[in-house]
Amino acid sequence: MTKSQLLTELAELKHDKSFGILTRPALEIEHRKQSDAVTVIFLDLDHIHNLNEQIGHEAVNRRIKKALRIRSNDIVLTGRWYSGDEIVLLIKGDVTGTLNRLQNNLTKNGLSATIATAPLTKQLHKAVDAAKSKVEAAKAKNNRGQIVR
């Protein structure tokens, strides 16, 4: 890696100040650093566009921020926006507990998401695609607001 590439990575290794989750380049760097078993969590916020129209973007953003506060001492959690209403999280630790806390936090904040997991592979995008496919299949069957296994 050249000095220029390293400086670029370091400059991009920061959190989205709005949500406290990593930028996309930072997520890629974090993925490359992981040596232990890690799981990808893919969540698609349900009906977020309607909620934005009802209560406004700022109120929705506050709810999302609160829902994503699921860190604990036994897990490492990093994440990033995948697209407009989709978020990717990388976790190391208690997957089931994290999923339950995440879903509870979403519900407490008046939000819903269809959520799936996939084991992290050497290529982050393949794990993300696998989890995303599970979410898309559930949504195609109109199964929303649940953890898809």
Dig out the tokens for 134 from the structure. 């599970």
Domains held by the chain: number: 1
Does position 15 have pLDDT exceeding 80, yes or no? no
pLDDT tens per residue across span 27-86: 666 666 665 658 889 999 999 889 989 999 889 888 888 888 776 554 555 666 667 788
Q: Could you count the other beta carbons within 10 Å of the beta carbon of residue 74?
A: 10
Do 140 and 130 touch, CB atoms closer than 8 A? no
> Residue 130: which CATH number?
3.30.70.270
Name the pTM for this structure: 0.74
pLDDT tens per residue across span 84-133: 788 888 887 788 888 988 899 999 999 999 999 999 877 778 888 999 99
* Range(s) of the domain holding residue 71: 35-148
d(CA 92, CA 67): 19
d(CA 135, CA 118): 11
Look at residue 138 and tell me if it is in a domain.
yes
Look at residue 2 and tell me if it is in a domain.
no
